[in-house]
Each structure stands twice: as structure tokens, then as C-alpha cells.
Chains A and B, each alone.
Chain A
Amino acid sequence: MGTGLFHAATRLMWRSGEHSPGLVGSRAQVSHPAKQVKQLDRVIIRFAGDSGDGMQLTGDRFTQETAAFGNDLVTLPNFPAEIRAPQGTLPGVSSFQVHFADHDILTAGDAPDVLVAMNPAALRANLGDLPKGATIIVDSHDFTARNLTKAGYSDNPLDGDTLAEYALHTVDLTGMTVEAVREFGLSRKDASRAKNMFALGLLSWMYGRPTESTEAFLTKRFAKVPDIRDANLTAFKAGWNFGETTETFVVRYEIKPAVMPPGTYRNITGNLALSYGLIAGGVQSGLSVFLGSYPITPASDILHELSKHKGFGVMTFQAEDEIAGVGAAIGASFAGQLGVTTTSGPGVSLKSEAIGLAIMTELPLVVVDVQRGGPSTGLPTKTEQADLLQAMFGRNGEAPLPIVAPQSPGDCFDAAVEAVRIAVTYRTPVIILSDGYLANGSEPWRIPALDELPTIDPNFATSKNYGDGDDAEFWPYLRDDATLARPWAIPGTPGLEHRIGGLEKGDGHGNISYDPANHDFMVRTRQAKVDRVADSLPPLEVDDPDGRAKVLVIGWGSTYGPIGAGVRRVRKAGYHVAQAHLRHLNPFPNDLGEILKRYDRVLVPEMNLGQLSLLLRGKYLVDVVGYNEVRGLPLKAAVLADVIGGLVAEAEGIEVDLTPTSTDQESVR
């Protein structure tokens, strides 16, 4: 971008292109108070505002800058289901939390160190999550009587001493933004909309974030509206310069880049990683991906993303409803493509009968369930993992199917490839259980080398498989001895014409059969086929560093981060605890039962009322202990540490004291 577009903006001599990551402090040429630089090993920042204030964008940009800087990071977007909830109200508050550090971290953090609140509602909605001493930066502009009332404040909290225990910075972000962009002649409303970029500029200064990616982003995003583009760039720079030149902020913070394994990284959300994983599954299997889908929060972004990649032969069909989406995917699979359908829990309910058809017809199908709070419409934009039992059992009859779950945003890629492998190899629908937190949250992702991925062989049937010579026939249910998979003969293959359907099949020949013994055999065989998947799985990894733990914590899905962070706290305090995390929920790994029985206590934290606990108890007769929350938010590491500590005390007959010995609870490697 040219330097001319901001030279008159703030008269603070910002020069684009003069700085490089990590060296941002040395550039301004105006005199300003000396700033202290404080070293931190990690920070949790929460941007909060009205749902129209652009907080998700602000958080996302700060995240990209942080990723480019080289910190490890985890994010937690949190927004209402309403696109524009009533302005200035508590239900309309949207927030974005980013946790970044100079070391490997696992969660978006329990409690923010810094809250940026753009209005009274954002302050009120988030204040309860702040520890004493946290920094609060508020935009004072919106603290009017009307907005205070809307947020439920009778007195202005910025006056008086109600916030005395926090480091409060009251700044007229909106007023300064409007002033900074005055030259562009925008309406006051349009001008004030750039206040999120002012806030971003300020925080970017405070934490020494590199700014090029945001400048490039704004330039591209608003390329067609030059005055809006320039206003946003100017506001961003004005925010930076405000931090640097005024006496309001006397401290800057430095968080050194994290030491991470070698490789090329990018920041990625779960939905994007899952989309890429499905495309990779198509490439690795040589099959065209056919997505049949109906828009639903929080899964729609997968439909949006895949629709951009038709160049890979990806076909996306936005169906008239959830059932049509899965129906078309089943049709595409019958025709020899990789049928995929993406949805959330309510959509899985609607698709249940069709998924049963795919189980009966034994066709490959990938069903993505990005879980959200339920039942019914529930909490569309909040996370939960309460669809496990629906995935396991939510169909009529004995209808088993394999289930896989990703454990972090980047891991959604691998989970998708694994689902494709199982679906194609075993001719079965597979459910991927992601969730809202994984879908929208992000983390640095080491981009995999493609030779690390499995090759998936569709192994289409090309010839008759029963009898010889002129009497030879094609039997669509004659199975492979090892996998129990049936042959996949696609239309267009001469001589293999056959009919399949939802009615029970005779073993082998596949004709309709109502024979009692045959039905019993086929029900058991379909179950056995799914069970065979376990033979293709590696042993379950158990993290038990010195083998002395008596307590095992086992989870699945997005609880991986909080469980891992909780386990670190307990170990840091000097205690022993083992951790395992399940990628495969059905079938379970073959060694799971033996592992569970090795420990005196097994803790199963879940964002549901004990669904994995029920399965583990039922299958292995192990008296697992659940820790369960359904608050629409990720579990907190500190809470889990306390629960684990309690179990360690019980199991080992000792007193457990988890008092931190360091300010960094996650730094134990």
C-alpha cells in the first residue's frame, strides 16, 4: 500500500514497511514518554463488544498477527445466535478470546488477563470472568445513560470505585477513531465503525504484534471502497500510535515466539481443517467428493469452503433439507463417488433413517456432525459434545457405524482423512463428531507432508465373484475375509448389475430375505464389520510419564486441551496422573479395556451428562467417574485440575495441594 493514504491522518509519522516482526518499537520518530517493556510468557486477551462491532474480525486479525509472530495460540470465539441481537444489550454481546504464549499451550485460557470492552453490556457480560488485577480497556464513548440502562447498570461503573480492583483504562476509542478518519468524509456512523481497528491497533502496539498482515488484509478486503479501506487502515494505525505516544499506557509486553517442532505452520480453524481433510480424502482415494448439505450453524462454513474447491472435482449440492443432503450423498456413493454430508445435531436427527439405509446398503458415506448445545434448537452458536449417544445409537434397529472425533482445530484435518479411510475401506457410513469450539476456534497447525497421509483404495469390483464360467454371478454381499467389507460395484460396470436397498439381504447373494437365521446372521455381521475397524488402529497412546499414576483421565473431542492443561497443573504440583484421549469412539481401540483396568480411578470429563462414561461402564464394567458440564463453553483447566487432584488424593491416600508454584500453570512439558 502507498504511504500517502495515511500521511495526514494522525500526524504521527507512521511509515508502512519500515518495521519487521518483533522490532516494532523502534520506529516512531516523535517524542514520547519512555515505555517500559515487560516480559510475559503468556497472555489471555478477550475482545468484547456488540455483535455489530466487528469483534470476531478484530480477534481474528489479532490472532493472525500473533501466529505470524510465532507464539503458540488457541482461540475461543463466542457469539450470539442472532445476527444482530438488540444493540447494546447483554444477549447481543459477542466476544473473541485469544490465548498466546512463548510455549506450547492447550486451551484458550480460563480467565482473561485483558478485557477490551466496547460498551457497557460487553463490560457487564464479561466482568465476572476476570481475575482481580486484570486489565480492562473500555471505550468510554458508549457509556451513556441509555446504554448503561440497556446493560442493566444503574450507575456508571467507570465512575466510583467498583472497578478499583482492576487496572482500568478508560479511553474514548470511538471519539478518537472518528477524529482520526475525519479527512475521509464518512458519515459519523461509518467513521465510528472503524473503532474496532483502533482497538486492534492499540492492542497490537501493546503486545508488539507485527502489523503487515492486517494492513494487507484491510487493503484487500475493502479494495472496492477506498474511503472505507483508508479509514480502517488509518484507525488501525491511529490506535497503534495512541498507545505509543500517550501516557495512558506506560507498559508494553513482550511474549517471545514459542519453540515449536520444525515445520511450516499456518493458523487454522476446525471447519477449515475439516474441509481440507475431506478434499485430501478425495485426493488420497482418487474419488470425487460429493457434498450434499443443508445450511446449519455451526457447520455451514464447511459447505462454503468446499464449494470453493470444485477444481478438485468437488461437487457441492445445497439441498432442500437435511434428508435430501444425505440422500444425494448416498446416491453419489452408489454411483462411485465419495458421498459426504455436513450438519449439526438437529440435522443428524433428520438424517437418521438415511444413515440407516447407508448402513444397510453398506455404502461409503462421511457424516460430519459439528455439535452444538441441544436438545432441539438448543444453543446454536455454543459448543457441547452431547451427540455421542445419538451417533452411536440414534437409528432404528441394530445400526452400528464407526465414529471418529478430532481433538483440536488442526486435528480436524486428520480426523476427516481417517473417516474417509474407514468409510471407503469398510463400505460404511462414518460419523465425525466435531463441535462448535473446534469449528470456530483456531490454533497454529503444522501443515502435513502429503506422504504422511494414508493411501485409500476404493477397490471397485470389476468382475463377477461367485461361480465359474457361464454360470458366474455377481454377489453384492459376498464379503472380504479380513475387513468383512462387501464389493463396491458401480453403475456402468457390465455384468455386475444388482439391486440393493433397505430390506434385509440374504447373506452373499443380497436378495431380499425374511429368513430368521439369516437376519440374525446379518445383524451380527454388520456389527462384526464395524468391530473389525479396531484391528486397523494403532494402540491407544497413554501419557503416563513415569508409570506411577493411579488416576487416568480419558476424554474425547475438544476436551483434549482443557484436560491436558489440567493434567499439567497436577503434575506441576508434584503429583502423578495419566492421560489418554480417544480418536475412535466406535469401535474403541482393542487395548482400551486393559488400559482402563490398569488404573485405580478413571476420570471422564465431558461437555455432556456422561455419555462416554456410560459407554465405558457398559462395555468394560469399569467404575469410571464423570466430570460433566454443559455450559456451552469449553471446560476450564483449573476446575479439571481440582477434580483430578481430588481423585489423586483418594487413590493414593494422600493430601493434594495444587497451590501454584509458578505463575505459568501450563509450562510443564
Chain B
Amino acid sequence: MTEPLTELGIPAFRSGTESVPTTDEKQTGKDFTSDQEVRWCPGCGDYAVLKAVQSFLPDLGLRRENIVFVSGIGCSSRFPYYLDTYGMHSIHGRAPTIATGIATAREDLSVWVVTGDGDALSIGGNHLIHTLRRNVNMTILLFNNRIYGLTKGQYSPTSETGKVTKSTPMGSLDHPFNPVSLALGVEATFVARTIDSDRKHLTGVLAAAAAHRGTSLVEIYQNCPIFNDGAFDAIKNPDTKADALIPLVHGQPVTFGATLDDGPMAGKGAKALVRDEQTGGVKIVATADVAAEDIVVHDAHSPDPTMAFAISRLTDAGYLNTSPIGIFRQVERRTYDDAAREQVSVASNGSANDDAADRTARLAALIGGGDTWTIL
């Protein structure tokens, strides 16, 4: 299949919500709020994400009945009950499979998956990677609290090694997943990370994810105040977060830390990313120590995910003292569901809109085909 090209030779790709009917009616967050009582623990980061999503959805201008939220099992997976859209709270780890069926069956739906680190990366790990490689048009919100909450406090696939939990009194033995590295490894077309408590950043990432046609994976750091409180304190604390968070902005040199007041890099952060000749990856240096042109300029649209992967490796595997956030990768690739519908359309060869009588005639021809004989 060839991809359509614009005059500039750039593939003319479509928005993630292009085929979804829109509405002119003014919508508010209230329109997307269901009548169900929200039952997360007080202080749970899920509240902030829910509020942000409810406020953000009206911005899409889509008809509410054409939005579907699908979830698996876990605290975050209660999400669909609280949104007044179509929704399914399914079974553990399988939300991407159900969403694949919905998105492939119906071009006119905006499909969202809400999942957690256990749901998406442990029991549902297989479905996550295959959905990402197929690039089915959906947005996956992966709430990462680095713990199992609903089952009351066992370590998760993103918990740091040595974590003492109910199931690991002597410390956990597993090396954790980095969800962003994983997604980049399977060549996901949209990979981003954001934080529950940063409403503005979260909303910006959601908007980009929804606009992307294909599978958008958004990892959301989310605090569990009951079983893993403080896991993200270093990146949230006003005193430390400037040195902990590495913001990624497409087209901008990657710097962070205290803002430099003077010099050629005034206004940029005191720390910067440069290529590491030793490892082939990237490393953190003092901005003042390197030439401006040596600082890595973030290119989310690069067809090659290597640099994005290198940046993702700066995430601490242990307690989170350093983490890049933002959109790591955003590239265009034909989606599975568009291609699947195109095959049906080609095979139908104009007969897709047959009336019932035509379809019956074609069915009769099909089952009556092959080598036949007639007995009178």
C-alpha cells in the first residue's frame, strides 16, 4: 500500500479524530461527568487525572456518543465509570485487545484505554507491545504509580528493585520496566510521559496524543498515597524538581535545572544533554561546560527512535530522582485499523453499500460455487 503524499512529498496523514463526528454544541467538563460516585482513596492522583480529562474532552469538540473509554483492572481502571461516554471496564490486562476490536470495527469512534502499571505491563504486557507495533488508532493512558494498589500493596513491574512490600518482605528481586523505553523499543509512533499533578503539561500531552493517528502511549506518573506515597516527591517538590525533570520540547535543545542568568545559554537550564561518545547514548553535563551546538536538540519526529530511546534511559530505575518528561516520539505511520478497513473496502469493490438483496445474491453465489452437481 502506498501512502498519499502532499506536494512537498511528506505523507499527508490524518488526525486521530478526523473521522469522528463533531458537535457545535458548547460542552463543559460537566457534560462528561457521569452520575456515579467516585470511589478512589482520598489524595489519590487519579482524581487529578480524571478532572484533567473531563476538562480536556470538551476541547476536542467531538460528539460525546462517539467517544469510548476502555479499561482493564486496577484502581485506575474504574475511570470509565466516571465519564459520561460509552465505556467498558473489562478484564485484567486485556483493554488494548477490546479497544483494538472497537477501533478497527468503527472509524467514527475516538477510543481511549485507561490502564495501570500492573494491568498494562505485567498481565497485559503482550497486548500492549502488539497494539503499539500495529499502531491501532487509540490513546492509552498508562497510570504508573509503581505499585499494586487494588490488591493492597504488592510490588509492580515498575517498582524499584529491593522494594519491600507485602509480597516482598525481604525486598523485591525484579528489575523494573521503563514503560517509555519499552514502547520505543517496539517502535510505537507516539510515546509521551507526564505527571498527574501538572495539569497544564498533562493537558498538553493529552491534546497531542488525541491528535495523533495511531496508538498514543501516555505514561502518567501518579501518586498512590496509601501504598507508595512519595514515590514521585523528588520530581514534584518545588525545591528539587528543576533538577529532577528533564522537559522535552520538539526542536528545542534539552536543558534543565536552575535557569542560567547570563552567558550564551542565558534562559536555559544549567544542565544539558549531550551525546555520550563512550556509550552511544546521551549524558547530562553542565551547560556551561559545552558548546551550544553540542547540546542535543530534541527531535520527536525523527523516524529513528534511537535518540528518543537514549533519552528515555536517563529515567531512574530506582527511586525517581531524574526523569525526562514530554513527548519522546511522534511519527506518522499507517494505522492497522485504517489499513484493515481499506482491505475490506478494496475487496468489496463498491459493493460495501449493497442492499440486503445484493448481499443475499452474492452469498448464494459463494456457497453455490465450486464443483457442483444437480439432482433433479
Partner of B351, one of A311, A511, A512: A311
Which B residues, 328 to 376, have Cβ-Cβ distances below 8 Å to chain A? 340-341, 343-344, 346-349, 351-352, 356, 359-360, 362-364, 366-376
A226 beta carbon closer than 8 Å to chain B: no
Chain-B contact segment, one of A11-19, A135-143, A279-287 = A279-287
Residue of chain B at shortest CB distance from A413 = B367
**A327 and B68 form a contact (CB under 8 A):** no
A54 beta carbon closer than 8 Å to chain B: no
Q: A279-B363, A497-B64 are in contact. Are A327 and B88 (CB under 8 A)?
A: no
Q: A312-B362, A497-B84 are in contact. Are A327 and B97 (CB under 8 A)?
A: yes
Q: A310-B347, A332-B105, A450-B363 are in contact. Are A491 and B98 (CB under 8 A)?
A: no
**B80 and A330 form a contact (CB under 8 A):** no
**A317 and B340 form a contact (CB under 8 A):** yes
A49 to chain B, nearest CB (A): 24
A475 beta carbon closer than 8 Å to chain B: no
Q: DSSP class of A's interface residues: helix, strand, loop or mixed?
A: mixed
Partner of B127, one of A327, A330, A356, A494: A327
Chain A residues contacting B349 (CB-CB under 8 Å) are 311
Partner of A332, one of B66, B104, B373, B376: B104
B306 beta carbon closer than 8 Å to chain A: no
Distance, CA A495 to CA B86, complexed state (A): 10
**B90 and A315 form a contact (CB under 8 A):** no
Partner of A491, one of B96, B102, B370: B102
Chain A residues contacting B374 (CB-CB under 8 Å) are 263-265
Tier of interface size on chain B: 35 or more
Q: A310-B348, A323-B97, A330-B98 are in contact. Are A491 and B91 (CB under 8 A)?
A: no
B92 to chain A, nearest CB (A): 8
**A317 and B100 form a contact (CB under 8 A):** yes
Chain-B contact segment, one of A333-341, A382-390, A640-648 = A333-341
Partner of B86, one of A323, A450, A497: A497
Partner of B348, one of A286, A313, A324, A495: A313
Q: A311-B349, A336-B106, A491-B65 are in contact. Are A331 and B375 (CB under 8 A)?
A: no
Chain A residues contacting B344 (CB-CB under 8 Å) are 310-311, 313-315
Residue of chain A at shortest CB distance from B85 = A497
B10 to chain A, nearest CB (A): 30
B200 beta carbon closer than 8 Å to chain A: no
Q: A317-B340, A328-B97, A336-B106 are in contact. Are A491 and B68 (CB under 8 A)?
A: yes
**B368 and A264 form a contact (CB under 8 A):** yes
Partner of B109, one of A321, A356, A491: A491
Chain B residues contacting A501 (CB-CB under 8 Å) are 71, 80-81, 87-90
Distance, CA A438 to CA B102, complexed state (A): 32
**B366 and A315 form a contact (CB under 8 A):** no
A250-277 Cβ-contact flags toward B at 8 Å (1 or 0): 0000000000111111111000000010
Distance, CA A182 to CA B347, complexed state (A): 43
**B372 and A264 form a contact (CB under 8 A):** yes
Distance, CA A566 to CA B70, complexed state (A): 53
Chain B residues contacting A328 (CB-CB under 8 Å) are 97-98, 100-101, 104
Distance, CA A516 to CA B91, complexed state (A): 22
Chain B residues contacting A330 (CB-CB under 8 Å) are 90, 98, 101
Chain A residues contacting B351 (CB-CB under 8 Å) are 311
Which B residues, 52 to 69, have Cβ-Cβ distances below 8 Å to chain A? 63-68
**B101 and A260 form a contact (CB under 8 A):** no
Q: A324-B100, A327-B98, A498-B86 are in contact. Are A335 and B105 (CB under 8 A)?
A: yes
Chain B residues contacting A313 (CB-CB under 8 Å) are 344, 348, 352
Query: Total A-B residue pairs with C-beta atoms closer than 8 Å?
Result: 216
A503 to chain B, nearest CB (A): 7
**A492 and B65 form a contact (CB under 8 A):** yes
A638 beta carbon closer than 8 Å to chain B: no
A206-248 Cβ-contact flags toward B at 8 Å (1 or 0): 0000000100000000000000000000000000000000000
A496 beta carbon closer than 8 Å to chain B: yes
**A64 and B371 form a contact (CB under 8 A):** yes
Chain A residues contacting B340 (CB-CB under 8 Å) are 315, 317
Chain A residues contacting B376 (CB-CB under 8 Å) are 262
B34 beta carbon closer than 8 Å to chain A: yes
State how many residues of chain A have any CB contact under 8 Å with chain B: 73
B130 beta carbon closer than 8 Å to chain A: yes
Distance, CA A68 to CA B376, complexed state (A): 15
Chain B residues contacting A317 (CB-CB under 8 Å) are 100-101, 104, 340
Q: A67-B371, A290-B104 are in contact. Are A494 and B63 (CB under 8 A)?
A: yes
A38 beta carbon closer than 8 Å to chain B: no
B94 beta carbon closer than 8 Å to chain A: yes
**A265 and B89 form a contact (CB under 8 A):** no
Chain A residues contacting B373 (CB-CB under 8 Å) are 67-68, 70, 264-266
Residue of chain A at shortest CB distance from B364 = A450
B102 to chain A, nearest CB (A): 4
Distance, CA A268 to CA B373, complexed state (A): 13
Which B residues, 89 to 121, have Cβ-Cβ distances below 8 Å to chain A? 89-92, 94, 96-106, 108-109
Q: A331-B97, A491-B65, A502-B91 are in contact. Are A265 and B372 (CB under 8 A)?
A: yes
B167 beta carbon closer than 8 Å to chain A: no
Partner of A286, one of B64, B109, B356: B356
Q: A311-B351, A501-B90 are in contact. Are A324 and B130 (CB under 8 A)?
A: yes
**B86 and A491 form a contact (CB under 8 A):** yes
Chain B residues contacting A496 (CB-CB under 8 Å) are 65
Which A residues, 436 to 469, have Cβ-Cβ distances below 8 Å to chain B? 447-448, 450
B36 beta carbon closer than 8 Å to chain A: yes
**A311 and B347 form a contact (CB under 8 A):** yes
**A331 and B100 form a contact (CB under 8 A):** yes
A521 to chain B, nearest CB (A): 21
21 cross-chain CB contacts under 8 A: A67-B373, A266-B371, A276-B366, A283-B359, A290-B105, A310-B344, A311-B344, A312-B366, A315-B344, A320-B127, A330-B101, A331-B103, A336-B106, A450-B364, A491-B106, A491-B109, A493-B65, A494-B65, A499-B81, A501-B81, A501-B89
Q: Which 4 A-B pairs have the closest CB atoms?
A: A331-B101, A327-B97, A501-B89, A328-B101
A residues contacting B by CB (< 8 A) are 64, 67-68, 70, 213, 260-268, 276, 279-280, 283, 286, 288, 290, 292, 309-315, 317, 319-321, 323-337, 339, 353-354, 356-357, 361, 413, 447-448, 450, 491-503, 511-512
What 4 additional pairs, Cβ within 8 angstroms, besides A286-B356, A317-B340, A501-B90?
Answer: A311-B347, A312-B348, A331-B70, A353-B92
